[in-house]
Amino acid sequence: MHQDPEDAARHELDVAEAELAVLKQELILQHLIDTGEASEEARTHLTKLREIARTLTESRRPPDDRADKAA
Q: How many CB atoms lie within 10 A of CB 29?
A: 21
* Contact by Cβ (8 Å): 22, 49: yes
Predicted confidence at residue 71, as pLDDT, reads: 45
Measured CA to CA, the distance from residue 47 to residue 50 in angstroms comes to 5
Measured CA to CA, the distance from residue 50 to residue 22 in angstroms comes to 8
Predicted structure pTM score: 0.54
pLDDT digits (tens, 9 = 90+) for 6-38: 888 888 888 888 888 888 888 888 888 888 876
